[in-house]
């Protein structure tokens, strides 16, 4: 799930129209654009990526090529190609692979220096200013057993159920941290790295990692403890964005460790992408 943007609230007592179309195909992958309409207004749009797999050996399978026959279809295809190039570039600049940029490194240093107790001048003595909160206190965890009523056609935990649980945890997390009324505005880059087997234990860790004015970015990291072996394997990484309903500003999340600073930087990049 590459991107979901929420433009307007949906009313529970009026019809909802879903439309979707394949916008791009490669040799074994495709991009699908989805829109949610209500009263002829686009309330939500999403971009999904899917990969074809052979049912016998689970290797990549060919998909039918997409033939753009008019200027509008060629424009849609070109935009999808641009999104693909952007994803490739983002993977190359991942903070787990490359260090922060000079500007980002400067901000990390500034955040650290500004949090030092000026009367003591010791690296270990750090304090918060008014309206700030340590990132380490902005966490929430959950655990559940993958039940058979939530399985998909492949006998694994349904991806939509995983997304829902991730969203619910993120929503609870950010509300407990900010204590103000919120609404979701976007979801970014939800990866499905490994399946969740039925009967396994599904673990999620939520972290409010970046705030700016009335908007917060929450990262949810999910793992599965496989049945019998209890080996921990990463399954998903979610990024959710929430906005204050009344315009009230969020507490400023402050990283304390270098790892938290990288997470702060990662979520700030995602915040900047939707602005």
Give the Cα separation of 269 and 103 in Å (integer): 12
Q: Can you give the pTM of this predicted structure?
A: 0.84
| Domain final residue pick, 61, 92, 123 | 92
Residues 46 and 137 in one domain: no
In a shared domain, residues 39 and 148: no
Long-range contacts from 265-269, C-beta under 8 angstroms, 24+ separation: 265/95, 265/100, 265/104, 265/107, 265/108, 266/95, 266/209, 266/219, 267/209, 267/210, 267/217, 267/219, 267/239, 268/210, 268/212, 268/217
| Cα separation, 92 vs 53, whole angstroms | 25
> Where does a domain end: 92, 118, 141?
92
Domain count, the chain: 2
Confidence (pLDDT) at 275: 66
- Does residue 210 lie within any of the structural domains? yes
Residue-level pLDDT at 273: 80
Does a structural domain hold residue 127? no
Within a domain: 73: yes
> Which residues, 6+ apart, have CB-to-CB distance to 226 below 8 Å?
197, 200, 233
Q: Is residue 215 in a domain?
A: yes
Domain, as residue range, for 230: 132-256+267-274
Identify whether 190 is part of a domain.
yes
pLDDT mean for each 10 residues of the chain (275 residues): 85 92 92 93 91 82 90 92 86 82 92 82 79 94 91 86 93 94 88 85 94 94 86 90 92 93 93 79
Q: Looking at the domain assignment, is residue 118 inside a domain?
A: no
For the record, the structure tokens of 21 come out as 């179309």
> For position 175, which CATH number holds?
3.10.129.10
Is 106 a domain residue? no
Do 229 and 137 fall into the same domain?
Answer: yes
- Whether 164 and 79 map to the same domain: the answer is no
Q: What is the pLDDT at residue 88? A: 83
Measuring CA to CA, which residue among 84, 87, 109, 85 is closest to residue 99?
109
Report which of 1, 9, 48, 16 is spatially closest to residue 185, judged by C-alpha positions. 9
227 occurs within a structural domain? yes
Q: What pLDDT sits at residue 126? A: 84
């Amino acid at each position: 799930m590459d991107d979901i943007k929420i433009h307007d609230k949906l009313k529970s007592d009026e019809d909802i129209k879903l439309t979707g179309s394949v916008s791009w195909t490669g040799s074994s992958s495709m991009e699908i654009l989805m829109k949610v309409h209500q009263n002829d207004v686009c309330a939500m749009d999403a971009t999904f990526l899917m990969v074809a797999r052979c049912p016998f050996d689970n290797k990549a399978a060919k998909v039918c090529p997409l033939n753009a026959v008019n200027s509008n279809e060629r424009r849609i295809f070109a935009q999808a190609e641009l999104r693909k190039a952007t994803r490739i570039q983002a993977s190359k600049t991942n903070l787990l692979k490359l260090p922060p940029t000079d500007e980002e490194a400067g901000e990390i240093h500034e955040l650290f220096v500004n949090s030092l107790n000026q009367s003591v001048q010791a690296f270990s003595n750090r304090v918060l200013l008014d309206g700030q909160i340590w990132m380490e206190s902005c966490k929430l965890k959950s655990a559940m057993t993958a039940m058979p009523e939530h399985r998909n056609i492949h006998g694994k935990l349904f991806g939509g159920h995983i997304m829902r649980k991730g969203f619910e945890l993120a929503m609870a997390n950010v509300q407990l941290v900010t204590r103000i009324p919120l609404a979701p505005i976007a979801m970014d880059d939800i990866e499905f790295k490994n399946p969740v087997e039925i009967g396994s234990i599904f673990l999620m860790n939520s972290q409010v990692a970046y705030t700016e004015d009335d908007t917060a970015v929450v990262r949810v990291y999910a793992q599965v403890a496989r049945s019998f072996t209890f080996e921990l394997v990463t399954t998903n990484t979610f990024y959710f964005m929430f906005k204050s309903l009344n315009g009230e500003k969020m507490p400023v999340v402050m990283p304390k460790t270098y790892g938290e600073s990288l997470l702060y930087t990662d979520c700030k990049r995602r915040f900047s992408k939707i602005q």
